[in-house]
Amino acid sequence: MALKVAVQMDHISSINIAGDSAFAMMLEAQARGHALFHYTPDRLAMRADEVFAAVEPVEVRDEKGNHFTLGEKRRMNMAEMDVILMRQDPPFDLAYIAATHILEKIHPKTLVVNDPSEVRNAPEKLFVTEFADLMPPTLITRDRAEIDLFRAEYGDIVMKPLFGHGGAAVFRITSDDLNYGSLYDFFAATFKEPWVIQQFLPNVKHGDKRILLVDGEFAGAVNRVPQEGDLRSNMVRGGAAREAELTEKEREICARLGPKLREKGLILVGIDVIDGRLTEINVTAPTGIRAVKRLGGPDVAARVWDVLEAKVAAHKA
């Protein structure tokens, strides 16, 4: 059954196809004969309960510098689509939240992935705290006194913005770091929301494992190893992708999360695990699909489309 698939994303001309999970899913959808349409979030429009967007038919190719061809732009009622992949990158800001409200008007008749209301209600660094026993000690605040108490208890800590992404503005503060006061002032002036304060995990030097779950089931993993002299393991920050097998602890984490992810309609999720401790649950635009396959692991994009096709077929039955 050929489906109409729209991809809401940052403009396709701007993506890095070597690591972009949305592109991996587009390649797989096209290979299965589905009709692909491209649009950016600013083209969404809502009138009463109808949602429209100026979309372009798109063909994709796994060729750097020559990876797409767009057709003529036309206005479409998005209820005509079978699937919408909501795949623009964060920041998770008011524009992102507005897009979830708009797409919620047509979901689940049009299957929006991930469920827009659940994406809105599961900010990645807050949703994870529902599983606090799996995490390193974590504080959510912007209050200096609370951070001082946490730092006194745990010594080395990590500070990062609550709605940050891609490893931006992630800092380690040692127990005797004289930059702490200045960094606090910088965060206070820059980030109006609370921040994430976590106990520093020294074994991050051995890797931050990205584990992909599809419909609540383990689908693939890659270990992201930081560059020498850098705290951050994100691949967009120079982290090196390495093959990864799950430990028993990591399988337990997946088993704990799976039922909740299925309940929330979060079909493609990426979790981050450092030294057996869960640090984030990524539900907006999790990366890693291409790295997993490139390193000889499972074809996660194929697994995603197996699930999506089954869900659409069940809805139409």
Active site residues: 125, 160, 210, 224, 232, 272, 280, 282
Give every CB contact of residue 286 below 8 A, 6+ residues apart in sequence. Answer: 21, 210, 212, 268, 269, 270
Q: What is the number of other CB atoms lying within 10 angstroms of the CB of residue 143? A: 11
Angle ∠(80,86,90) on CA atoms, nearest 5: 155
At CB < 8 A and 24+ separation, what contacts does 74-78 make? 76/37, 76/52, 77/50, 77/51, 77/52, 78/6, 78/51, 78/52, 78/53, 78/103, 78/106, 78/110
State how far the Cα of 126 lies from the Cα of 58, in Å rounded to an integer: 35
Peptide bond into 90 cis (omega under 30): no
Burial annotation 158-182 (CB, 10 A radius, 16+ → b, else e) = bbbbbbbbbbebbbebeeeeeebee
Tokens of 174: 């040692």
What percentage of the chain's residues is helix, strand, coil (to nearest 5)? 35, 30, 35
Angle ∠(53,213,14) on CA atoms, nearest 5: 40
- Residue 151 · residue 139 · CB < 8 Å: no
- Residue 237 · residue 249 · CB < 8 Å: no
- Residue 90 · residue 232 · CB < 8 Å: no
